Structure 1
Amino acid sequence: MEFTDKESRQIKEELTEIEQTRILPPSILDIIYQKKLFKFISQSLGGRAMDLPNALRIFQETSSIDGNLGWAVTIGAGGGMFSPCFKEDVAKDSFSPENAVIAGSGFPGGKAVKMENGYHVNGEWKFCSGSPYATIFTANCIVENEGNSRILSFILNPDQVEIMNDWNAFGLVGTSSHSIKVSNQFVPAERTFSIGEKMNNFEEVVHQFPFVPFSEASFASVVLGIGKNFLDHVKMYIEKNKHRWGQGDFDKYQLVTRKWKTEMERWNNAERHFHRMIDHVWQDHLKGKPLAAETLEDFSLVCKKAASTVLTCAQNLFRYMGMEMIMQHTELNRIWRDLHTAAQHAFLIPYQENETIAYEINGEK
């Protein structure tokens, strides 16, 4: 475990005002920096150089403490996957500081014009989580005047970026996933990169793992963690109402407890399938086995089914929580909103037809 019970309680206390402030407080960022939770990169750059299964467990654990924390850690750590693509000096400058973290977007929302020794960049990019505390931004642009149009990634300093402050989602309100805007900024050629093109020797084994499966697994871990937090709070609410619900001819306490146990079993089943698949694929990766298209398809489905299962668990308990569930000031409501916001990521949407998108409780489906 990354956090002691005392540290978890402290973090939860620090985040009690996040619905009003809509940003991670400096005290939480300090904990992230101290534990190097954004440093999912080479040890030579001051990182932890973690393997994928353990990193995913940290993403899940932080998300089970608080969804905003888990999302911030997952996005921030994931930015380290680009470190081998940076030119060596730029990688050192970008990733070595203790507070180093990337915000940005993979969507080609900008235009770049080739100039002498660099590019002029303009554009807007949505959903750049962690914008207020990012030390660098990355953004994809279409280069317009190099013959055939191509997509190139640009490394921008915070003073080159305007944060639009438009993250108005109903959940994960503290992730600061704002749009950014860049207007007529010059970016030197050495501060560009192409995803997948190795430019230095800082690469770890995890960097060789395909980026899309890495992302699918990362966001599934977040959803599993938030889901566990929701189930824990449901259990606390049930116990809080044990005496009142157990009165009269109808024992609501026993009914809802049975339903909670069923959904807890469903969640455990999803988590078990997920980590079993992660461990299996990671071992093949360590052995240098190419990941076949069928394996990657199965991997993707397991991630999507894990997320869908967690949503099923939450929805099956939602109506039994009474008015507590719909009041925005309650923890149950906040966690439910965070859960549905995280699960809305495009990497987790089950577009497959005729597929069972949630696990049953017998562990077989």
Structure 2
Amino acid sequence: MLFTNQQLRTIREHALSMDKERQITQEVLDILYDHRLFHLFVPDELEGRMTPLPEATRIFQESARIDGNLGWLVTIGAGGGFFAAMMNPEVSRGVFAYREAVIAGSGMPSGTATRVEGGYVVNGSWRYCSGSTYATTYTANAVIEPAPNRNDAVSSSAPGESEIRSFILNPEQIDILADWNAFGLRATGSHTISAVDAFVPDDMTFLLTETKGYERETIYRYPFLPFAQVSFAGVAAGIAEHFLEAAEVLAVQRGSSSYVIGKLEECKAALEQAMSVFYVTVEKSWEELLRVGGLSAETEAEVTAKSIAAANTALSCGQQLFPLLGLSAAMEDAEVNRCWRDLQTACSHALLRNFS
């Protein structure tokens, strides 16, 4: 069991107020800190609890089954540990090696950076930065503006391409625009962050394609796109499990028809089957990584396909059952309603959608 019974009660007791107030509580954050759940992909020597991806994904799923906001924030916060290998080791220690350390940020290169002596001046804004309200460090991608004299510029990009670099920003360099008004995952603090003329020294920047340390850690060799899809699929499944639990309680209370009960059982079985196939695929990919040091293109494609399929099955549970649960389920305070909203929101992420 991931949490003690008392911790489970605390999280569930805070779930409604977190949804209403659009903010995770300090009590719940302290539970996450105590279990080092933001450090699942941080090396042990940096006060992390390095965890194989299949095991971490089950943690994401269990966290999301308890509460969707919890699962999303654990997953996003833990994912920031991926950057430990891309930073200079001494910088990684300063960023990660303490109890409350957690990164919030965005992968979209929606900022610009100008080269100056000793570093860069960064400007821009970045949307959907989950965990923004309690992050201790922020990361953001920015396009490097051409230097006045290109002969003096150091660029890692190919001719004709824009160079994109990642920047490590401190809380005092960031402004938060509280614009996360989604109807689900309300407590994730997925707001827009912005920086104005923020100076970032050279050693506080990194490239997503360059490893600077901790090469022995297996997780850092897992391709980032399928890594993210696996993680998000685990969250979607956990929220769906919670939705099905809450739907069953409501259906029994309402004395629902055999059709509704039958549909509920169908959804349970479909989700269990999809997740069984999903975890077989994830486990096989992890074994391949351990065996040969990388994933084949075929394995990456299979991981992506099974992740999207699992998320689609989770989403289908909500789409099929929610309309059958009556007006009680339409009330925002209802547990099943919160789960349904969280499920819709999580599965709206671009990495879990399939337009083919």
* TM-score bracket relative to the smaller structure: over 0.9
TM-score norm. by structure 1 comes to 0.91
Q: Could you tell me which residue of structure 1 aligns to residue 155 of structure 2?
A: none
Show CA shifts across 1:84-113 (max 9, x none): 111111111000011000000000010000
Letter in 1 for 2:178: N
Shift of 1:32: 0.4
Q: Could you tell me which residue of structure 2 aligns to residue 362 of structure 1?
A: none
Q: Does 1:259 align with 2:263?
A: yes
Q: Could you tell me which residue of structure 1 aligns to residue 87 of structure 2?
A: 86
- For 1:201 and 1:68, the matched residues in 2 are separated by 30
Aligned residues: percent identity? 41
Shift of 1:326: 1.7
- For 2:347 and 2:109, the matched residues in 1 are separated by 23
Letter in 2 for 1:52: L
Q: Could you tell me which residue of structure 2 aligns to residue 207 of structure 1?
A: 220
Question: 1:42, 1:203 within 8 Å by CA — same for their partners in 2?
Answer: no
* SS state at 1:232 partner: helix
Show CA shifts across 1:178-203 (max 9, x none): 00110011111110000131112375
* Aligned 1:73-152 pairs, distance under 5 A: 73-146=74-147, 147=150, 149-152=162-165
* Aligned 1:1-365 pairs, distance under 5 A: 1-40=1-40, 41-146=42-147, 147=150, 149-201=162-214, 204-242=217-255, 245=256, 252=257, 254-288=258-292, 290-352=294-356
Q: Kindly tell me: are residues 302 and 165 of structure 1, through their superposed partners in 2, closer, same or farther at Cα, counting changes over 3 Å? A: same
Shift of 1:231: 0.3
Question: 2:16, 2:333 within 8 Å by CA — same for their partners in 1?
Answer: no
TM-score norm. by structure 2 comes to 0.94
RMSD: 1.2
Shift of 1:145: 2.2
Letter in 2 for 1:213: P
Query: Mean alpha-carbon deviation: is it higher for 233-242 or for 119-128?
Result: 233-242
Question: 1:8, 1:65 within 8 Å by CA — same for their partners in 2?
Answer: yes
- For 2:6 and 2:269, the matched residues in 1 are separated by 27
Query: Mean alpha-carbon deviation: is it higher for 144-153 or for 314-323?
Result: 144-153
Question: 2:10, 2:28 within 8 Å by CA — same for their partners in 1?
Answer: no
Question: 2:221, 2:294 within 8 Å by CA — same for their partners in 1?
Answer: no
Question: 1:127, 1:178 within 8 Å by CA — same for their partners in 2?
Answer: yes
* SS state at 1:273 partner: helix
- For 2:10 and 2:125, the matched residues in 1 are separated by 37
- For 1:103 and 1:69, the matched residues in 2 are separated by 15
- For 2:49 and 2:122, the matched residues in 1 are separated by 33
Question: 2:222, 2:294 within 8 Å by CA — same for their partners in 1?
Answer: no
Shift of 1:289: 5.1
Show CA shifts across 1:68-87 (max 9, x none): 00000000000001101111
Q: Could you tell me which residue of structure 2 aligns to residue 356 of structure 1?
A: none
